[in-house]
Amino acid sequence: MKTNLFFALLFCPFFLLAQISDPVATEVWEPTARVITPGQGQAPPSDAIVLFDGRHLDHWQATDSSAAKWSIAENAMTVVPQSGGISTKKSFGDCQLHIEWRSPAVVKGEGQLRGNSGVFLQSRYEVQILDNYNNKTYSNGQAASVYKQYIPLVNACRPPGEWQTYDIIFKAPSFNADGIKIASGSLTVLHNGVLVQNHVEVMGTTEYIGFPKNKAHGKAPLFLQDHGDLVSYRNIWIREL
C-alpha cells in the first residue's frame, strides 16, 4: 500500500507534465454544437421563430387579446396610432431578437414626439425606438437607450425613412419562490450592427415616472409600443436561448 502511494507521488508530476504538453488532452469532442443554417442576406437562421415576415400579424395580438390592428403594406407593418401596442401571442424568456424598424420619412414633432415606439422585452424592459437623427432628447431616452436606465454607447441612427436594425441579446431576470429577484436580467444591443448596449444589467421594469420595479414574473410576450407615431417594422425573428 505504502509502496503504491510512493510510486503514485513519484510519477504524478510526470503524468501531469505529459498532460500539459499534449494538445489532445485539452480537446473536447462531446457534446457537439447543434447544426443550424445561418440566413442568407436578410433571411433568419433556420432555428429562429419568425414573428413577422411581412405577410400577416398571426403571431401578434392587441393587449386585450383581440386581433392586432396595425396595418400591413409592402412587407412592413405600421403602428395605427391610438390602436394600442401589440404583443406576441407566445411568451419568451432569454432570447436573441432581430427586428427592423423605420421612422416616418416625413419628419414631424421634436424630442420624444418624433418617430417614437419601443421594443419591450417580456412586455417590461424597453429598448427605445425614436428618430434621433438630428433630434435631441434626454440621453437615457434616446434611440437604443434602455429607457431611463442606460444611454447608448453611440448614436447609430440612420436618417428618417431608412430601415434600421436592432439585434438584441436578452437574459431575463430570475426570481425565487418568494418572489425575490435573485439574478438581474441583462441586455446587449447592436444598432445597425454597432454595439450600443454592452451587456448592461437591467435595473427593473421601464418606468416613465419613478424607479424601476422588480416584481416576479415568468416568460412573457414581446411587446411593440404605439406612441402615436407611424413607425414601421419588418423582418422580426427571435431565437429562444
Calpha distance 153→195 (Å, rounded): 7
Calpha distance 91→182 (Å, rounded): 21
Point out which span in 4-12, 109-117, 179-187, 232-240 binds Mg ion (CB under 5 A): 109-117
Of 51 and 231, nearer to Mg ion (C-beta) is 231
Point out which span in 40-48, 102-110, 222-230, 232-240 binds Mg ion (CB under 5 A): 222-230
Question: Which residue is closest to Mg ion by CB?
Answer: 118
For residue 21 the three cell numbers come to 504538453
SS3 49: strand
CB of 27 to Mg ion, least distance (A): 48
For 141, phi and psi rounded to 5 degrees?
-130, 10
CB of 120 to Mg ion, least distance (A): 9
Q: Does 44 bind Mg ion (CB under 5 A)?
A: no
Of 48 and 196, nearer to Mg ion (C-beta) is 196
Q: Give 65-102 as a DSSP string.
A: SSB---EEETTEEE--TTS--EEEEEEESSEEEEEEEE
Of 52 and 147, nearer to Mg ion (C-beta) is 147
CB of 189 to Mg ion, least distance (A): 14
Q: Does 173 bind Mg ion (CB under 5 A)?
A: no
Residues 6+ apart with CB under 8 A from 216: 175, 179, 180, 181
Calpha distance 208→211 (Å, rounded): 9
Q: Does 104 bind Mg ion (CB under 5 A)?
A: no
Distances in Å between the Cα of 215 and the Cα atoms of 141, 211, 224 are: 23, 12, 21
CB of 119 to Mg ion, least distance (A): 9
Of 225 and 232, nearer to Mg ion (C-beta) is 225
Q: Does 118 bind Mg ion (CB under 5 A)?
A: yes
Q: Does 115 bind Mg ion (CB under 5 A)?
A: no
Counted residue by residue, the chain has a size of 241
Residue 59-98 contact track with Mg ion, rule CB under 5 A, x = bound: ----------------------------------------
Q: Does 141 bind Mg ion (CB under 5 A)?
A: no
SS3 17: helix
Q: Which residues bind Mg ion (CB under 5 A)?
A: 116, 118, 225
